[in-house]
Amino acid sequence: MTDSVVCGLIGAGIGPSLTPSLHEVEGARQGLDYTYRRIDLDQLGSTVADLPRLVRDARDLGFRGLNITHPAKQAVIECLDELAPDAARLGAVNTVLFDEGRTIGYNTDWTGFGRNFDRGLPGARVDRVVQLGAGGAGAAVAYAMSTRETRNLVIVDYERARARRLADAMAVLFPAARIDSADPADLPELLTDANGLVHATPMGMAEHPGSAVPAALLRPDLWVAEVVYRPLDTELLRAARNVGARTLGGGGMAVYQAVDAFRLFTGIEPDADRMYAHLTDLVRREELEAVR
């Protein structure tokens, strides 16, 4: 055993998060004495206003790093000494590293989506992409697609102003691309000449059953990438497979954001396939318990 590693997750309502288990089990398999704590704002009766104190306490108590989730990904930036360039451009941090007294923010949501995309849909054409959902996951996904040379990205959300804000922000960051927003009613036309569709709304989760995309709009030559991973297989993915389209599930994004954070925390390259198998196991177990 090497020195102990203590990390944590700050967010609200994070009881069901699978990230602590992904880190701890992989840490043990790497021979580390690795502890990953939940720091739940709701349970502590805290808000984002308490973040400076919580981050400082974690650093002073010898934590190696923190993951940050809703609603703290933007607010945590005020608590940092330094920001990795991509996290600064994206304006969101999901990983904080304590490095020789300095507190440094990273974003592994977008790298997680990107690595999952490259691995799961190799060779996919990305010139024209339609993205559904302009929330937190949507921002990471839009950034990842833009770094993969998407020339034409259209962001669709039924909160039209949200879609416009994200498209405008991405257009500033990636001036060589054409990045627009549109209304869900425009989907049939938008998808006609798209290479791929990225789904980043909560539709398809147990609490939001169904699909945000009518099956009739799917085609064999339109790849579909999903961010929802609870369940691992969604109605949208099934419909896309049914028409013979290439698909990518959301589980890989959840795993790779943890893979990239684990590497930052420990300096060790974790076994991504083993972590993916672990995530699959955790989600399947959850699904079985839900139907009992």
Q: Which residues form the catalytic set?
A: 73
Among 67, 95, 103, 257, interactor with ligand NAD by CB under 6 A: 257
CB of 277 to ligand NAD, least distance (A): 16
Kindly give the pairing relationship between strand 102-106 and strand 33-40. Answer: unpaired
Site string for ligand NAD, 267-286 (x = CB under 6 A): --------------------
State which of residues 7, 90, 96, 134 lies at the interface with ligand NAD (CB under 6 A): 134
Nearest to 165 by CA among 141, 151, 176, 181: 181
Contact region with ligand NAD (CB under 6 A), list: 36-44, 98-106, 157-165, 269-277: 157-165
Considering the rule CB under 6 A, would residue 138 count as an interface residue with ligand NAD?
yes
Is 205 a residue that touches ligand NAD (CB under 6 A)? Answer: yes
Tell me which stretch binds ligand NAD (CB under 6 A): 57-65, 97-105, 226-234, 276-284. Answer: 226-234
Least gap, CB of 212 to ligand NAD (angstroms): 4
3 to 23, 27, 32: CA distances (angstroms): 16, 12, 8
Q: Is 253 in the site for ligand NAD (CB under 6 A)?
A: yes
**Of residues 162 and 219, the one with the C-beta less far from ligand NAD:** 162
Q: Which is nearer to ligand NAD, 32 or 259 (CB)?
A: 259
Asked if 27 interacts with ligand NAD (CB under 6 A), we say: no
Closest C-alpha among 31, 80, 104 to residue 261: 104
> Residue 292 is encoded by which pair of tokens?
């009992």
What CA–CA distance (Å, rounded) separates 3 from 1? 7
Is 201 one of the binding residues for ligand NAD (CB under 6 A)? yes
Q: Count Cβ atoms below 10 Å from residue 184 Cβ, excluding itself.
A: 15
Choose the stretch contacting ligand NAD; rule: CB under 6 A; options: 71-79, 98-106, 200-208, 262-270: 200-208
d(C-alpha 86, C-alpha 147), whole Å: 10
Stretch that binds ligand NAD, among 45-53, 56-64, 253-261, 272-280 (CB under 6 A): 253-261
**Interaction site with ligand NAD (CB under 6 A):** 132-138, 157-159, 162, 184, 200-203, 205, 212, 227-229, 250, 253-254, 257
